[in-house]
Amino acid sequence: MKRVIVLLASLLVPLFAFASGAEVKLDKAPINVNDKLSLQRGTQLFVNNCLGCHSAKYLRYERVATDLGIPNDIMLANLAFTSDKIGDPMVSAMTKAQGKQWFGNPPPDLSLIARVRGADWVYSYLTGFYPDPKRPYGVNNHVFKDVGMPHVLSHMEKSLGEKEFKSKMADLTNFLVYAAEPIRATREHLGVKVLVFILLFGAVCYFLNKEYWKDVH
């Protein structure tokens, strides 16, 4: 028994050490998946700045267009640079081999990044780049130390200023949250309706039960 306890302790110590060392203060992401204008802006930002390297292979252009109220012809003409079919997935033109050659590792697919990391992490990462001449691309990140990705949005940060840049990154984060769970807005709306139904049905049951048993002694 003593050996088992020692073994478990030896296994858990590295986990606690990693958890404590990985603590990073994250900014709260202003997410609202019901804001279609924000999601549309986020889609444009993703396509124009991220899709060149990162895919969102679990999303299809047609689904995004339908969910966000974008006509299919506008989607194809302005946002589907890597496809000529509205039903195709949002896949980067960069191959894994090219990504490995240029960056050391293929850039990850971002379909589920907000589900895996969390919205606050994604938002803090996008707004967390800072100059670091020791790194190959001259930048580092407060959330992801020694990240291998260049700050591809630095031009936007310089031209817009901090406040407007963070607003843009909130839109991009909002899109990635939507991408990780396209059904989320519908699920939340349905959840509210279900809760209201349960409350009303519960009230009816309560008064019906009270009326039924009022004459029983």
How far does Cα 208 stand from its chain's mean position? 46
Is residue 48 a part of any domain in this protein? yes
| Low-confidence winner among 10-14, 26-30, 150-154, 203-207 (lowest mean pLDDT) | 10-14
Is residue 11 a part of any domain in this protein? no
Is residue 93 a part of any domain in this protein? yes
**pLDDT: is 167 or 202 the higher one?**
167
Res. 215: pLDDT tops 80: no
Q: How confident is the model at residue 217 (pLDDT cuts 50, 70, 90)?
A: low
Q: How confident is the model at residue 7 (pLDDT cuts 50, 70, 90)?
A: very low
**C-alpha distance from residue 185 to each of 33, 40, 44, 83, 111 (Å):** 6, 15, 20, 27, 17
Res. 190: pLDDT tops 90: no
**pLDDT: is 193 or 28 the higher one?**
28
| Low-confidence winner among 84-98, 114-128, 169-183 (lowest mean pLDDT) | 84-98
Q: Are 171 and 153 in contact (CB under 8 A)?
A: no
Res. 15: pLDDT tops 90: no
Distance CA 86, CA 89 (A): 8
Res. 202: pLDDT tops 90: no
Is residue 182 a part of any domain in this protein? yes
Residue ranges of the alpha helices (H) in 79-183?
96-103, 113-117, 119-126, 154-160, 162-180
What rounded mean pLDDT belongs to the chain?
Answer: 85
Per the listing, tokens 């260049």 go with: 150
**C-alpha distance from residue 27 to each of 46, 143, 149 (Å):** 20, 10, 20
Q: Are 51 and 81 in contact (CB under 8 A)?
A: yes
First to last CA, the chain: 59
Distance CA 207, CA 217 (A): 18
What range does the domain containing 150 cover? 27-186
Share of the chain above pLDDT 90, in %: 56
**pLDDT: is 203 or 73 the higher one?**
73
Task: Give the count of domains, the chain.
Answer: 1
Is residue 1 a part of any domain in this protein? no
Is residue 9 a part of any domain in this protein? no
Residue 3 dihedral angles phi and psi, to the nearest 5° = -65, -40
Q: How confident is the model at residue 6 (pLDDT cuts 50, 70, 90)?
A: very low
CATH number reported for the structural domain that contains residue 38 in this entry: 1.10.760.10
Mean pLDDT within 113-119: 94
Q: What is the pLDDT of residue 22?
A: 53
Res. 158: pLDDT tops 70: yes
Is residue 127 a part of any domain in this protein? yes
Q: What is the pLDDT of residue 10?
A: 41
Is residue 18 a part of any domain in this protein? no
**C-alpha distance from residue 73 to each of 50, 65, 78, 119, 129 (Å):** 22, 10, 8, 30, 36
Res. 166: pLDDT tops 60: yes
Q: Are 127 and 143 in contact (CB under 8 A)?
A: no
Q: Are 81 and 147 in contact (CB under 8 A)?
A: no
